Structure 1
Amino acid sequence: MLGQETDVTGPGRDGGVRPQSVMLTFLGDHVHGNDICVFSGSFIDAFARVGISKEATRSTLTRMVRRGLLRRQRAGRRMYFGLTPVSAQVLRDGGRRIWGSGVVNDDGDDRWTLIGFSLPESWQRQRHELRARLTWAGFGPLRNGLWIAPGEVDVTRVIDDLGANVRVFAAEPRSPTDMRALVADAYDLAGLGRRYQAFLHRWDRPDPMPEAPDDLARSLVLLTEWLQIIRTDPRLPLRHLPGDWPAQQAQRVCHALHERFRPEAEAVASAILDTVPDAQSWADQ
Structure 2
Amino acid sequence: MVAPAPEAQSDPGQQHSQRLLGTLLGDYWFWRPEHLPSAALVELLGEFGLAEPAARAAIRRAATRGLVVASRAGRTTAYGVPERTHELVIAHVTRLMRFGAGDRTWDGRWTFALFSVPEEQREVRRTLRTRLRWLGWAPVYDGVWVTPWDGGDQALDVLAELGVDTATVARADLADRLPARGHPLRAWDLDALRARYDDFLDRYRGLAERVRTGAVGPAEALTSRTRLMTHWREFPDLDPELPAEVLPADWPRSAARECFVAIYDGLGPPAERRFAQLLARHAPDLAPLAAHRTSEDVRRGEPAEPAPSPGAGGRAGWAGPLGRR
| Counterpart among 215, 224, 231 of residue 221 in structure 2 | 215
> Structure 1 residues 129, 58: closer, same or farther in 2, change over 3 A?
same
Provide the rounded CA distance (Å) in 1 between the counterparts of 2:261 and 2:97. Answer: 8
Secondary structure class of the residue paired with 1:79: strand
**Counterpart position of 1:158:** 158
With structure 1 as the length reference, what TM-score do the two structures score? 0.85
> Structure 1 residues 53, 232: closer, same or farther in 2, change over 3 A?
farther
| Counterpart among 68, 71, 74 of residue 72 in structure 2 | 74
Question: Unpaired runs of 5+ in structure 1?
Answer: none
Give the C-alpha shift of residue 87 in structure 1: 3.7
| Counterpart among 237, 242, 252 of residue 246 in structure 1 | 252
Residue identity (%): 27
Question: Unpaired runs of 5+ in structure 2?
Answer: 287-317
RMSD: 3.0
1:171 matched to 2:213? The reply is no
- Aligned residue pairs: how many? 279
CA deviation map 1:238-284 (0-9, x unaligned): 111122211111111111111221111111111222343343148x5
Secondary structure class of the residue paired with 1:169: strand
Secondary structure class of the residue paired with 2:70: strand
Structure whose residues are more often strand by fraction: 1
> Structure 1 residues 255, 180: closer, same or farther in 2, change over 3 A?
farther
Larger Rg: 2
Secondary structure class of the residue paired with 1:18: helix
> Structure 1 residues 212, 189: closer, same or farther in 2, change over 3 A?
farther
**Counterpart position of 1:64:** 62
**Counterpart position of 1:40:** 38
Secondary structure class of the residue paired with 2:183: helix
Give the C-alpha shift of residue 47 in structure 1: 1.4
Provide the rounded CA distance (Å) in 2 between the counterparts of 1:51 and 1:211. Answer: 18
**Counterpart position of 1:139:** 137
Give the C-alpha shift of residue 210 in structure 1: 8.3
Is the 1:141–1:147 Cα contact (8 Å) retained in structure 2? yes
CA deviation map 1:193-250 (0-9, x unaligned): 2111111111011348989952111111111111122333211111111222111111
Residues 181-200 of structure 1 mapped to structure 2, 5 A cutoff: 182-200=183-201
Amino acid at match of 1:198: D
Provide the rounded CA distance (Å) in 2 between the counterparts of 1:216 and 1:173. Answer: 47
> Structure 1 residues 53, 255: closer, same or farther in 2, change over 3 A?
same
Is the 1:110–1:151 Cα contact (8 Å) retained in structure 2? no
With structure 2 as the length reference, what TM-score do the two structures score? 0.76
Amino acid at match of 1:200: L
Provide the rounded CA distance (Å) in 1 between the counterparts of 2:218 and 2:203. Answer: 13
Amino acid at match of 2:322: Q
